């Protein structure tokens, strides 16, 4: 068995694989170790012991399933998705990273949600809905889910189970029938389906252009709390866009490389730098770190003061370098 990748230290075994749609599969993994994650987060998966990693949603609700599940859409030229859906079989082992991402109802707490999803972007939504139904059953949840056709509906059985608790509307571009609405989600349809959108936290996941349009429409209709999933898969090769991290640390005498799209926390840990981190989701504040120089973006500053932010402090788990940076 291969050794762990620095970015993917969690070893899990494939218990079974279920086909959701013609091009989507869910892999159910046995985890023999403690693996903390929040509903809606994703993990990096090492592809075929090659040190290449790809990002996939953790579609199971934490604490609510025997397995940790990954739901994967097979892409025609996808190195990771092709391997996971066509070559991996029950009994095989996968290496996963720590859970990542700020796109979680635990991070954006409200009593009224509107989830917008398109295609495979529904996977974090189903995780959050399952978790909310189990842990916050009095929350008002509405879901609008857009697919190409009814056969492309992911987690159909789960939506049936949750049907008594949430309000689900499905749009299908082709072959719509019964309760499924034909066509695409438009601003007028969004206005009609969610007249109280201004009072809801809106969370969207799907193709980037689709999310951009939903944000434009939702804000035009009065939504003020709008969040969208923005995870990026690290580049497969260094020349595909590696970010040069300049880290000052007693054990590092020179700068080190980290791939695009990986959090500062994961980058530091992958090079042997111990960072005090607990929640890994931008909530607890344990991984506070100061960046002395360089561009970056953050997805959470929940525990930081305005002065700390001005001084360059970030939460390492929620900080994503955009170029060469110097960590103080």
State mean pLDDT over 226-250: 54
- Residue 3 is predicted with a pLDDT of 55
- pLDDT tens digits, residue range 19-49? 999 999 999 999 988 899 999 999 989 888 7
pLDDT mean across residues, the chain: 87
CA distance 315 to 289: 6
Which has more pLDDT, 292 or 196? 196
User: What architecture (CATH level 2) is domain 10-96?
Assistant: Beta Barrel (2.40)
Which part of the chain is CATH 3.40.50.80?
112-228
Which part of the chain is CATH 3.10.20.30?
238-327
Question: Taking the CA of residue 266 as centre, how many other CA atoms within 13 Å lie in the half-sphere pointing to its CB?
Answer: 29
Q: Which fold has domain 238-327?
A: Ubiquitin-like (UB roll) (3.10.20)
- Residue 297 is predicted with a pLDDT of 86
- pLDDT tens digits, residue range 241-280? 344 566 665 555 557 676 666 788 877 877 767 788 777 7
State mean pLDDT over 178-183: 95
45 contacts 54 by C-beta, under 8 angstroms: yes
pTM for the whole thing?
Answer: 0.76
Task: Give the residue among 119, 111, 120, 125 at the shortest CA–CA distance from 185.
Answer: 119
- Residue 260 is predicted with a pLDDT of 62
Element (H, E) at 124: helix 122-135
Least confident of 103-117, 202-216, 251-265: 251-265
Burial of 90 from C-beta contacts in 10 A (0-12 / 13-18 / 19+) = exposed
CA distance 240 to 26: 28
State mean pLDDT over 139-166: 95
Cα–Cα distances in angstroms (integers) from residue 248 to residues 244, 277, 295, 308, 315, in the given order: 13, 19, 17, 19, 17
- Residue 320 is predicted with a pLDDT of 84
- Residue 240 is predicted with a pLDDT of 33
Listing DSSP states for 91-116 in one string gives T-EEEE---B-S-STTTS--SEEEEE
- Residue 68 is predicted with a pLDDT of 96
Beta bridge partners of 137: none
Which has more pLDDT, 116 or 246? 116
Q: Which fold has domain 112-228?
A: Rossmann fold (3.40.50)
Least confident of 48-52, 143-147, 182-186, 205-209: 48-52
Residue 284 has pLDDT above 90, yes or no: no
Cα–Cα distances in angstroms (integers) from residue 252 to residues 109, 257, 268, 270, in the given order: 39, 12, 10, 12
Q: Where are the alpha helices (DSSP H) in 136-248?
A: 156-162, 187-193, 208-220
SS3 53: strand
């Amino acid at each position: 068995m291969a050794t762990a990748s620095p970015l993917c230290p969690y070893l899990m075994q494939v218990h079974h694989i279920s086909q959701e749609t013609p091009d989507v599969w869910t892999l159910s993994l046995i985890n023999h170790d403690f693996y903390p994650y929040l509903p809606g987060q994703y993990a990096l998966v090492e592809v075929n012991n090659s040190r290449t990693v790809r990002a996939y949603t953790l579609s199971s609700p934490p604490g609510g399933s025997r397995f940790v599940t990954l739901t994967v859409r097979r892409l025609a030229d996808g190195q990771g998705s092709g391997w996971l859906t066509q070559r991996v079989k029950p009994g095989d082992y996968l290496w996963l990273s720590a859970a990542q991402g700020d796109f979680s109802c635990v991070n954006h707490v409200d009593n009224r949600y509107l989830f917008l999803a398109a295609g495979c972007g529904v996977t974090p939504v189903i995780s959050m809905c399952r978790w909310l139904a189990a842990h916050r059953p009095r929350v008002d949840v509405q879901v609008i889910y857009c697919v190409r056709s009814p056969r492309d509906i992911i987690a159909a059985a789960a939506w049936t189970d949750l049907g008594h608790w949430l309000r689900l509307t499905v749009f299908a571009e082709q072959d719509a029938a019964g309760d499924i609405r034909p066509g695409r989600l438009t601003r007028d349809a969004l206005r009609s389906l969610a007249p109280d959108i201004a009072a809801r936290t809106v969370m969207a996941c799907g193709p980037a252009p689709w999310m951009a349009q939903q944000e434009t429409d939702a804000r035009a209709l009065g939504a003020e709390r709008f969040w969208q999933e923005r995870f990026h898969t690290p580049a497969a090769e260094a020349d595909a866009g590696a970010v040069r991290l300049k880290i000052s640390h007693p054990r590092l005498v020179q700068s080190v490389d980290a791939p695009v799209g990986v959090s500062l926390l994961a980058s530091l840990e992958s090079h042997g730098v111990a960072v005090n981190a607990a929640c890994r989701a931008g909530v607890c504040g344990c991984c506070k770190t100061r960046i002395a120089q360089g561009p970056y973006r953050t997805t959470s500053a929940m525990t930081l003061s305005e002065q700390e932010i001005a001084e360059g402090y970030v939460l390492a788990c929620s900080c994503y370098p955009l170029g060469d940076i110097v960590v103080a």
